[in-house]
Amino acid sequence: MRAAHRVAAAGIALGAVLSLAATTASSADAESPDAGTVRVEAATDGDLEAAASARVAAMSVREKAASVVMGHIPTTDAAALRDYMEETGIGGFILMGANIPDGEAAVRAVTAGLTVDPAFPPLIAVDQEGGDVSRLGGDAFASALALKGEPAAAAQQAFAGRGGLVQRAGIGVNFGIVADQTDDPGSFIYRRALGTSPKAAAERVAAAVEGEAPESLSTLKHFPGHGAAPGDSHSGIPSSGMSKARWRAADALPFEAGIDAGAALLMFGHLAYTAVDPAPASLSAEWHRIAREELGFGGVAVTDDLGMLQGSGVAAYADPVANAVSALAAGNDLVLAVMFSNARTAPDIVDGIVAAVESGELDPQRLDEAATRVAVLRMGLAADGRGLMPCADCAPVD
């Protein structure tokens, strides 16, 4: 029941199934107060998962491959963004600073351009942590630097506001909850972490998910935790010799708390806990097993930006397509590419995934699993109306 609860709570907003009450020719039925009325019934987890499985089963290998790629091009031109999404068929898009025009209405025009099919919207994501990492304007809510010294309820309030800000922009996914923990002010992640101890971070991470989840699909990052691995993964592969037992008793706690609270996505970092696996967690089947089997995560596993692997300078990670295939094989459901990318990067990754399936390098069942998990979130967004744009004349979030 515990694992089932986590899957159900993974930020998936189940829609409503509308059904007309049957009427008959008999006068008794015609006089029934239920005759001809509309009845609203909540869809079940099984309904959504079955619908996602059926949709993926009808896809070609190329369509499945495209659906597990989150791409990026740096423009605010809604027409160009729509063309990009239509031509690539990719399942997600991350908004960076170059995609954010001034004003909420202008941002909504961007996200509307990305949403080719509101019945099956892409996973549009943004890094809206607040404070140092903010893409959207108008985020006056408390940042992690302040929240680490406040009660957990303050984190819930801040992320409730942040989730509303994200939702009003037409964005479904926030890569905004940093579940790393450290008490070292010299760490590059310190200002972005919600706590300076495992317990404090866990309380605030759970509260942040609970606050944000009604409006935006929450993402925990950067699993299994930057705090114990010194260095910045934008320019190297931070590593730690911490034992798994010590990790489980400390750095794992904020991630577990966020999973229990219902986070829909878990972002795997490009960092290595060498006592568990010498490979970066983003490319480690063992870390994916731990997240699924030991922490009970049932949602979408997403890589941190694969361009960061290229930026590490490690020769083995110089090929972005190979990195994407390896990430999928390890257990990621969604591969993200930003740094060093251009309009051809996502299509090239799609080509590489297709080639890997055809050559036997990537198990087609692994691709099906990833595509289905992504489809569940996309269909959940649509069922909850999150594939539709908010009203243009609503007042902005204060």
Q: Which of 20-34, 58-72, 144-158, 347-361 has the lowest mean pLDDT?
A: 20-34
Compare 52 and 383 and report the one with higher pLDDT: 52
What's the rounded mean pLDDT across residues 245-258? 98
Q: How confident is the model at residue 230 (pLDDT cuts 50, 70, 90)?
A: confident
Strand partners, 173: 125, 217
Q: What is the DSSP string of 360-372?
A: TSS-HHHHHHHHH
**The predicted structure's pLDDT at residue 228:** 83
Average pLDDT over residues 62-81: 98
222 catalytically annotated: no
Mean pLDDT of 202-223: 97
**CA distance linking residue 82 with residue 146, whole number of Å:** 38
Catalytic one of 234, 351, 368, 384: 234
pLDDT of residue 43: 58
Mean pLDDT estimate for the chain: 88
Per-residue pLDDT, 394 = 56
What average pLDDT does the segment 116-137 reach? Answer: 97
Check whether 29 has a pLDDT greater than 50: no
44: left (phi over 0), alpha (psi -120 to 50) or beta: beta
pLDDT band for 45, please (50, 70, 90 cuts): low
10 Å CB burial of residue 123 (0-12, 13-18, 19+) is: buried
In the predicted structure, residue 20 carries a pLDDT above the cut 60: no
User: In this model, does residue 348 exceed pLDDT 60?
Assistant: yes
pLDDT band at 227 (very low <50, low <70, confident <90, very high): confident
Kindly report the backbone phi and psi dihedral angles of residue 123, in degrees, each rounded to the nearest multiple of 5, phi listed first.
Answer: -85, 95
pLDDT at position 2 is: 30
**318, pLDDT greater than 50:** yes
Q: Mean pLDDT over residues 368-381, rounded?
A: 97
Distance CA 259, CA 265 (A): 9
Q: Is 77 among the residues known to form the active site?
A: no
How far apart are the C-alpha atoms of 167 and 185, rounded to whole Å? 32
pLDDT at 7 exceeding the cut of 80: no
Among residues 127, 180, 260, 304, the one annotated as catalytic is 304
Cα–Cα dist 255/261, whole Å: 10
Report residue 211's pLDDT band, with 50, 70 and 90 as the boundaries.
Answer: very high
